Amino acid sequence: MECKEKYGDKITLIGCVPPPMVVLNTNEEWSEECRRQIDIFAKGGGYMLATGCEYPSDSSFEKAEIMVDIAKTYGQYSKA
């Protein structure tokens, strides 16, 4: 949150969903974390939902699809 407060009106922030969640958490927990990250960082614009690092290559594609769907539906906002 400190990063958003300090730089959020100057740069676009990308991330921060923890990559281990792809492997260790349920689809529901994954969805909740994606929405939580949007709630934290999207206020005022300048945020792109993504994992905090790479998407684990040996993981199912399903959670990537979930993340994209959440970004397209829950994550829509306009910078005003």
The number of domains in the chain is 1
Range of the domain at 18: 2-73
Q: Quick check: is 80 in a domain?
A: no
Q: Quick check: is 36 in a domain?
A: yes
Mean pLDDT of 11-22: 91
Please enumerate in sequence order all residues whose Cβ is within 8 A of that of 69, keeping only pairs 6 or more positions apart, or say none.
Answer: none
3 vs 65, residue with greater confidence: 65
pLDDT at 3 over 70: yes
Cα separations (Å) of 53 from 15, 77, 80?
7, 24, 29
- Rounded-to-10 torsion of CA 46, 15, 29, 43: -20
Q: Quick check: is 37 in a domain?
A: yes
Q: Quick check: is 28 in a domain?
A: yes
pLDDT single digits (tens) 53-79: 899 988 889 999 999 999 999 977 665
pLDDT single digits (tens) 24-58: 999 999 999 999 999 988 888 889 999 988 999 88
Q: What is the pLDDT of residue 79?
A: 56
